Structure 1
Amino acid sequence: MMVDIDELLSHIDLNADDQMLAVRAALDALLVREQSGVVLADEVGCGKTYEALGITALLWRHFRGTREPIQRVLVVAEQALMSKWAREITSTDGEEGFQRYVSTADWKGFRDMLRNVEEIRRPGDGKGIGVVPRNRMYVVKPLLLTESKTHDASSVMRWLGQTVWDVVIVDEAHHFTGLHTKHSRVFFPKQTVESRRDGLFARFTLALTATPFQLEIKEMVNLLRIVGACEEDLDQIEDGLARYERMLGRFHNKRTFLPTDAGRREIVECLNNLRLRDASGGQRPGTPGLQALLRRYLIRNVKDQHHRGYALTEKRNGGYVARAFNKLDDMRPVVQESPLIPLEGEDTWVYLHLRDVLVDAQQAANKGEEARSFVAGDLRQCLSSYEQLEASRVLNKERLPRAVETRAALERLRSTGHVHPKIAALRSVVGGILDRQIERVRSKPGATLSKILVFNTLMYTAGALKAALEEVVADRVKPFVEEQVRAAGWAKPSAAQAAVRRALDEERRVTHDELRKEFGRDALDRTRVLLDASADEVPGDKMDLVDAMFRRASRHCAQPLFLLHLARSMKPSRGARPTDADVRAFVRTQVGDELRGKLAKIVRIFEDTEQGEDDPVEQARREWRYIDDLYAAHDYVARFDGKQASENRDARRENFNRPYAPLVLLVSRVGEEGIDLQAHTRYVLHYDVEWNPAKMEQREGRVDRKGRKTESEGPVEVHFFLLKDTYEERIFHTVMQRDAWFQVLIGSKRKALLKGPAEEDEEGAADVNVVEERGRMTPEEREKVMIDLRPFAPSRRSQKPTPRTLGRPR
């Protein structure tokens, strides 16, 4: 079969040139070069989800009508991301979801597949399948595909794992590459390289990851092994990466020499040769350059410019200020000179005393009296919060006298209301952000409060942060809401709430009338089974879908930030109170119309169950859960971590992306990847720092991505919180050093990396005649060493592939 890539691409348009280039490059690899998979490694926020679905759609089209049609598609995604995938695939709402790109009549067969999506979250999901279905998509949690007791107990799980799929899409694929992890068993059942042939298999595998390099070369190679890279290529890539990494290390040792130094220049030329000419460094004649080898399997779009500004939090003159820095600079002199967040008084005593306790724990472990303490972990708990430290294992060892003294000191601090220095700094920074935001909104019609994302990894600290920040946010937002409500003409917020309730009651009556007119008087009563999918407690037997959801919406619309949005949309008339008609018009556009449309869609879907079909029930319940999330009511500050059920996290995420509560979201590792949090967010606060720069990049990528409505305000502001002269400085230096090489190796931050040491964003801001700075690469050096994996249009448009051999390799 001839493959005309251009003709195939003409049937879909993702409305983004970079995404279409990625799709083209993937199709060239899969259909022309006959590879079995590719890695879509675009930077965070470039649209890998739609690229993967676009590639799948065009594969379906290419093989339509042949003996090898695309009929079974599996998406492997973490539980927190499953609902997002299902919504992107199934949504038919105008500007949302992938189906808008395949809306014409000639895509009907593929749209039928998109409608048949089933989420497999638990072993019992999907019971009754019996045989391998066709024209269906599944979204499954990774660990359900691994060999385990759960797996063995479920025929559905065995079927999912043993099927030879037409297309498998692996989200956040870097989680599957470390052979010591449970996730790796999806593709490497025995956690060995050789067992890949027995793992999850597909004709085509699309691995999605914004951070393909996780500091371990073997993990990068395993990522390529997942998508079926040939062993010869893998050997050359592994050897080339090792040589490249060693040479980058040599450059780091030479970084204090001037760029004119002969040794430094020699290293740069060696890196350039490894990258472009010979990845083996002359040891294997005929070996391509490392960049060419990686480009066979890796496709990576990068942003022209990252809209981020970085700052350290410093305590000066009794207050906290932000000190801007360039992330690619040598940070050691900056941190050494900075006061950061100092440990003072009792805080210093606790930190130093904990170090003594850890020495005691180590000595006790050596004598076999106690379990050994993990020093780094215990130090980080102390530097995070005293609530976290109190819960640590080392302080609960009764046989350690100094542990008892430390616990007593913590109790003393708590009794006096003492605040941990990092929490005090966070409170101050968040308060300052809100003060500036309130002034901006007050002076700018149509503006809304930008939101704040706080990353923290420790559970007890998350509780302490929520308690500390709730007070800070409420102290500022509550009086501002009251001010704006009075300015709109109401005497107090309760009067505005009463007007909203009246408007909602009218919208509820209209919705009842319209749905009963369209579907019949009994339709809403017959669909009460869907209430089981709601987190709402529904009293009585007569409440139908409309009553239940408008009851939910009434709590959502009573929150202060909804009232703020309402008040600022009203046009005050000489102090007169807004009319009920004005309020209803606002409520209709914000709530009523959307609810009516979604409830009608649910009833329409559920009506199909009268034909005896099972799938529409799950589809209707999925829509119901989405509405349930959309109209949840939250505090000013919310947690997004493992302490909440996934549906509660979904509700927090949905509302964080709307102009209502929560205003501050405290995110743990479960929210560092895959989810969109950018809509109204401008601030990313790293309360603690990860060792791995890839994880830091994932965090910041939750906000620095397409769809950020705060771009007109300026770049994303990223703040770091470090305690002076503590273990945190070491972590920060390590991650900053690793980040520079991480970006060079995967070709990110091209514009920032290529910028000269004297260049600034504003013309004339720096002296262009300044002597070359030591410790940083020059633009010429970076141009030579940066690996470029960006897709480009192939020179040959049509080729005839050789026949494909199907089936699991043996």
Structure 2
Amino acid sequence: MTWPVDTADLGARLDLRNDRVSDSDALRQHRTIVEILRRLGHQPGIVLADEVGMGKTFVALGVAMIAALADRGKRPVVIMVPSSLHEKWPRDFAVFKERVIKRAGDTSLRAEPVASALDFFRLIDSEAKSRPRIIFLKHGAFHVQNIDQWVRLALIKRAISGMHLGEKRSALPRFAAGLLRTKSSYNDPELFAKLLRIPNRDWRHVINDHYKDRQLTETPVPEAIQKVLDSSDIDVAGLRDCLRDLPARESVSIDERLERARHAINDALRTMWPSTLAKVRFRSPLLILDEAHHLKNPATRLASLFVTDDAREDAGTITGALEGSFERMMFLTATPFQLGHHELLNVIGRFRGVAWKTLSQGTKQEFETELASLGTTLDRAQHRAAELDKRWSSLRPEDVAGPNDGEPSVEDWWRDTASNPSTRPERIQIVMRAFEQARNAMKEAEAPLRKWVIRHVRDPVLPNTSVPRRSRQVGRAISLSPDGSGGLPVGDEALLPFLLAARAQAIVVREGLRAGRATFAEGLASSYEAFLETRRGEPVHEDEEEAAKTFASDKFVSRYVEKLAAALPDEAAYAQHPKIAPLVTRVLDLWRHREKVVVFCHYRETGRAIVRHLSAAMEKQLWSDAAQKFELKYADVRKAVIDFGARFDTDGGMRQPLDDELTRRLALYAELNDEEREQVHDVVRRFVRTPLFVARYFDIRARSGKETLQVAFDTRDLSGVALGEKIDGFLKFIARRCSPRERHDYLDALVRMQPGIRGETQRDIDDDLSQMKSINVMPNIRLANGLVKQETRQRLMLAFNTPFFPEVLVASSVLAEGVDLHLSCRHVIHHDLSWNPSTLEQRTGRVDRIGAIAETVAKPIEVFLPYVGGTQDEKQFRVVMDRERWFQVLMGADYRTDESFTEKAAERIPLPMAAAKALAFDLSVRSACDGPKHEESPTGAKQAT
């Protein structure tokens, strides 16, 4: 048994401080590790639910390290992660091991990623001294489809045992590769013939003797599988019949017979797999499960792994396969209150699957009683919050109007009303009483919930400054010279389409058509290109959950939509769309000031449109700016800029000064080997010579290479960072903060990124831009959507985090979770909004993370939320802003998106920030030395408690 764990010397073993993590963040992480370890000493589990980008991964790795090294049996800690993060966690662990672990004896800690349950079992079968102490396991590892060819061959061998096959037995190895559907190089019939004749436990040696250049390190058939194969818990009758039906030699029906045999193998595996999992007997001191909101439904495959008595959603049950295997559990999620409180209880309820005998106090029955009590308390809090929501909906603009019916100020109204509610009309006093009841109920629920959930919210200011962490720019603020406040205006050329869209929406609302949503109106507000897709009624954006709710119009609405399509401007004018045009202008301005920006959108066609329109505008701006800057004719400037770039080639006049400068800067980093240094020289040279760099950083009229280079390196961006400082920061990062593997990945991503213009632009076969062959896409602008392979997206993310290309990343929801885009970017534009506020927060969290460039330069993260005024876009903006305030109050609120609901929701009075803070749970970890907690009062004043 591992628990309780001594944390007295934790400060000497872990140091979370570094040049990219503030002391306050490092202290919070350290305290959280200590508190989690303390709580796990006497309770079955804990949920860590810090906001996005606050370093949950490093906290989890700290807990995992201490638990693994404290376990006297040297049993591994298991960290289960989504497939999309299976490579990221080991990379983060390498950094953690190198930068955070301080005690020499702890640095021997070894971790390994494992993709399937079979590989996991093989590790468990190995000797303790050779096992990794931490195992990263995919969420779906226990699915039957992950069973490999060796186990399938062992199953075939079990089926033919005792059968009289005659010459078919000798022919079977020839068909084995087809039966197993193996594309690996382990498909030699001679090898299969040997394996079918010898005991399974001897297979590894035979395979390794057969293939000297491909050595297996673990047994092909894990012990758990072997136990089932040796038992009578498996029905192979159907498989035996199919194998008996195989011919002794090739025939015209061989493919059909092989297919039947493959189906029989899969059927046998589905019956064998639950028995296999039931026979696995391993123990681990701790399970850490990332993205724990996937456990909200007990009937799902992942959730049912840990508890025996849950119903499954399909046949082939694996219910309770891991029950009792873990002494403690730790779950990670950034969005606990997106769940309904019953779903949150379901997540916490997975703790009932721990090995209860390892707890010195508390029983499973006591846990069930406590969980039921927590549910009752949360029911009461939710009821009061829902009642407040209902009462709040009764408020009207005139209730919160300022003096002389001026512009409503909800925050001022709330402060005045909360300080003296008795002077207000009775119906407002009813709202205030509902608020007080909800506040009391939330505080009552907070105490028992604190035991099971730890959650920190980020500081509203940047570390060690008074600078706001985020600056939110809404509506027309995306324009360079916004004319007043509110939404983006609709120009005369676009007025008719938007009027027709509004008319069609009015019919949807009036008729209540199938409680649907007029996605054609959302598409129109996004881009003309997106509208042309949504009018067909097809889900064309990346969010599958929202796609399922899209609206299918009736014949009356269809008439308006057809008229709308006919009223669209000419395709040549699509770049002048009311939201596309200001977006392009803003991104261009940021680019001209040498800043990076990430643009998020739902619709694939909008993403493509942004890349297309932005590329055209950027190329025009590039040469226009260059012609003006260098006092050249527009027709001549391109050649002059390209010729200057050629001076970075051998004997070009700029090559040697650049090499000398990079050599000088690289001299500080002994961590880099010669090959890596050469790669740095090549990468920097390839990017700075491109016209997109030359035109912004260099004076092509200058003759002195060294002086010209120095001027370029001193050129600063909008954040005040010089190009030379960016390159120095990049060198320091890859040399001292990256593991060798991570350093290789960064340099490889940059080497494979093509920085040229036009003909030099790389279009990967797995890049969605390949559909735009007739368009000259600028090489510093890249698109990342669901049609781009994960490997390519990973390279784009790594390269975006450097001073080089891409400089503009247009992304769909595939980059909204589990990726880091914060090292070189502090500007994010939500071109398409979302009905769910957590989606916007997840997106912004890609650039708002510990160690973000915003912290380094002490300037806010600029978050743009443009919307088109007087349209569906403005309605969606108002609804999601209102929901954002209620997000942590109405747990698991039903984010309805049908027109009839959102029409009313858009007119609601927004909940004041002070009221939202007063209602929210405080589940943070505090130390006694912190002094009294300062809590927001209902009026917004701070009170010591």
If the TM-score is normalised by the length of the shorter chain, which range does it land in?
0.5 to 0.7
Q: How does 1:578-617 map to 2 (within 5 A)?
A: 578=706
Q: Which residue of 2 aligns with 1:614?
A: none
Are 2:879 and 1:739 aligned? no
1:787 to 921, 931, 942: 921
How far apart, CA to CA, are the structure 2 residues paired with 1:775 and 1:592?
46
1:295: how far off? Answer: 1.1
How far apart, CA to CA, are the structure 1 residues paired with 2:68 and 2:135?
16
With over 3 angstroms needed to count, the CA separation of the structure-2 counterparts of 1:415 and 1:709, relative to structure 1, is same
Preserved contact between residue 74 and residue 140 of structure 1 (Cα < 8 Å)? yes
With over 3 angstroms needed to count, the CA separation of the structure-2 counterparts of 1:185 and 1:471, relative to structure 1, is farther
1:18: how far off? Answer: 0.9
What is the CA deviation profile of residues 370-406 of structure 1, one whole-angstrom value per residue up to 9, with x for unaligned ones?
xx99644444334333333333473699997986995
Q: Which residue of 2 aligns with 1:769?
A: none
1:24 to 34, 40, 57: 34
With over 3 angstroms needed to count, the CA separation of the structure-2 counterparts of 1:474 and 1:242, relative to structure 1, is farther
Are 2:589 and 1:435 aligned? yes
Preserved contact between residue 380 and residue 727 of structure 1 (Cα < 8 Å)? yes
Q: Which residue of 2 aligns with 1:756?
A: none
Are 2:291 and 1:147 aligned? no
1:213: how far off? Answer: 1.1
How far apart, CA to CA, are the structure 1 residues paired with 2:608 and 2:871?
23
Are 2:427 and 1:425 aligned? no
| Worse-superposed segment, 674-683 or 719-728 | 719-728
With over 3 angstroms needed to count, the CA separation of the structure-2 counterparts of 1:217 and 1:376, relative to structure 1, is farther
Q: Secondary structure at the match of 1:5?
A: coil
How far apart, CA to CA, are the structure 2 residues paired with 1:377 and 1:11?
54
Q: Which residue of 2 aligns with 1:366?
A: none
Q: Which residue of 2 aligns with 1:348?
A: 498
How far apart, CA to CA, are the structure 2 residues paired with 1:19 and 1:475?
48
Q: Which residue of 2 aligns with 1:131?
A: 125
Q: Which residue of 2 aligns with 1:803?
A: none
What is the CA deviation profile of residues 207-258 of structure 1, one whole-angstrom value per residue up to 9, with x for unaligned ones?
2222211152232222323455933333233332232222223334445473
How far apart, CA to CA, are the structure 2 residues paired with 1:304 and 1:630?
34
Are 2:39 and 1:39 aligned? no
Query: Highest CA radius of gyration, 1 or 2?
Result: 2
Preserved contact between residue 177 and residue 223 of structure 1 (Cα < 8 Å)? yes
1:573: how far off? Answer: 11
Q: Which residue of 2 aligns with 1:721?
A: 866
1:407: how far off? Answer: 6.2
How far apart, CA to CA, are the structure 1 residues paired with 2:612 and 2:573?
14
Q: Secondary structure at the match of 1:688?
A: coil
Aligned AA for 1:267?
A: A
2:287 to 168, 175, 182: 168
Q: Which residue of 1 aligns with 2:58?
A: 50
What is the CA deviation profile of residues 1-44 of structure 1, one whole-angstrom value per residue up to 9, with x for unaligned ones?
8754333444212121111111111011112x2x2322211122
1:271 to 433, 438, 454: 438
Are 2:86 and 1:82 aligned? yes
Preserved contact between residue 504 and residue 584 of structure 1 (Cα < 8 Å)? no
1:656: how far off? Answer: 1.6
Preserved contact between residue 451 and residue 681 of structure 1 (Cα < 8 Å)? yes
1:463 to 594, 608, 617: 608
What is the CA deviation profile of residues 581-604 of structure 1, one whole-angstrom value per residue up to 9, with x for unaligned ones?
9899999999999999989x99xx
With over 3 angstroms needed to count, the CA separation of the structure-2 counterparts of 1:784 and 1:128, relative to structure 1, is closer
Aligned AA for 2:380?
A: R
What is the CA deviation profile of residues 532-558 of structure 1, one whole-angstrom value per residue up to 9, with x for unaligned ones?
xxxxxxxxxxxx999999877765554
Preserved contact between residue 575 and residue 613 of structure 2 (Cα < 8 Å)? no
With over 3 angstroms needed to count, the CA separation of the structure-2 counterparts of 1:456 and 1:187, relative to structure 1, is farther
Aligned AA for 2:615?
A: E
Q: Secondary structure at the match of 1:206?
A: strand
Greater relative contact order (Cα < 8 A, sep 6+) = 1
Preserved contact between residue 485 and residue 567 of structure 1 (Cα < 8 Å)? no
How far apart, CA to CA, are the structure 1 residues paired with 2:289 and 2:626?
45
Preserved contact between residue 176 and residue 187 of structure 1 (Cα < 8 Å)? no
Preserved contact between residue 454 and residue 685 of structure 1 (Cα < 8 Å)? yes
Preserved contact between residue 471 and residue 860 of structure 2 (Cα < 8 Å)? yes
Q: How does 1:748-767 map to 2 (within 5 A)?
A: none
Q: Secondary structure at the match of 2:100?
A: helix
Are 2:826 and 1:682 aligned? yes
With over 3 angstroms needed to count, the CA separation of the structure-2 counterparts of 1:232 and 1:670, relative to structure 1, is farther
TM-score, normalised via structure 2 length: 0.58
With over 3 angstroms needed to count, the CA separation of the structure-2 counterparts of 1:386 and 1:492, relative to structure 1, is closer
Q: Secondary structure at the match of 1:682?
A: strand
Preserved contact between residue 685 and residue 719 of structure 1 (Cα < 8 Å)? yes
Preserved contact between residue 373 and residue 394 of structure 1 (Cα < 8 Å)? no
1:13 to 12, 15, 24: 15
What is the CA deviation profile of residues 595-647 of structure 1, one whole-angstrom value per residue up to 9, with x for unaligned ones?
99989x99xxxxxxxxxxxxxxxx98876544322432362321222111112
Q: Which residue of 1 aligns with 2:98?
A: 99
Q: Secondary structure at the match of 1:467?
A: helix
Aligned AA for 1:46?
A: M
How far apart, CA to CA, are the structure 1 residues paired with 2:695 and 2:121?
47
2:648 to 488, 492, 499: 499
Aligned AA for 2:132?
A: N
Q: Which residue of 2 aligns with 1:217?
A: 341
How far apart, CA to CA, are the structure 2 residues paired with 1:198 and 1:561?
56
How far apart, CA to CA, are the structure 2 residues paired with 1:204 and 1:729?
47
Q: Which residue of 1 aligns with 2:838?
A: 694
Q: Which residue of 2 aligns with 1:240?
A: 377
Q: Which residue of 2 aligns with 1:645?
A: 789
For structure 1, the 5+ residue unaligned runs are 92-96, 277-288, 325-334, 364-371, 442-448, 525-543, 603-618, 747-773, 796-810
With over 3 angstroms needed to count, the CA separation of the structure-2 counterparts of 1:483 and 1:496, relative to structure 1, is farther
For structure 2, the 5+ residue unaligned runs are 18-25, 152-221, 226-272, 354-366, 400-416, 423-428, 462-468, 539-551, 633-638, 715-722, 756-778, 892-908, 930-945
Q: Secondary structure at the match of 1:661?
A: coil
Preserved contact between residue 698 and residue 709 of structure 2 (Cα < 8 Å)? no
1:492: how far off? Answer: 2.7
1:656 to 786, 790, 800: 800
Aligned length: 657
With over 3 angstroms needed to count, the CA separation of the structure-2 counterparts of 1:470 and 1:476, relative to structure 1, is same
Q: Which residue of 1 aligns with 2:219?
A: none
Q: Which residue of 2 aligns with 1:390?
A: 532
Are 2:124 and 1:109 aligned? no
With over 3 angstroms needed to count, the CA separation of the structure-2 counterparts of 1:598 and 1:776, relative to structure 1, is closer
Preserved contact between residue 42 and residue 301 of structure 1 (Cα < 8 Å)? yes
1:76: how far off? Answer: 0.8
Q: Secondary structure at the match of 1:203?
A: coil
With over 3 angstroms needed to count, the CA separation of the structure-2 counterparts of 1:247 and 1:627, relative to structure 1, is same
2:749 to 629, 646, 656: 629
Aligned AA for 2:704?
A: A
Q: Secondary structure at the match of 1:250?
A: helix
How far apart, CA to CA, are the structure 2 residues paired with 1:581 and 1:474?
24
Preserved contact between residue 217 and residue 241 of structure 1 (Cα < 8 Å)? yes
What is the CA deviation profile of residues 469-511 of structure 1, one whole-angstrom value per residue up to 9, with x for unaligned ones?
2223334455557888999xx9634323441566499979x99
How far apart, CA to CA, are the structure 2 residues paired with 1:187 and 1:418?
57
TM-score, normalised via structure 1 length: 0.67
Preserved contact between residue 311 and residue 719 of structure 1 (Cα < 8 Å)? yes
Q: Which residue of 2 aligns with 1:285?
A: none
Q: Secondary structure at the match of 2:57?
A: helix
1:648: how far off? Answer: 1.0
With over 3 angstroms needed to count, the CA separation of the structure-2 counterparts of 1:309 and 1:594, relative to structure 1, is closer
How far apart, CA to CA, are the structure 1 residues paired with 2:650 and 2:349?
58
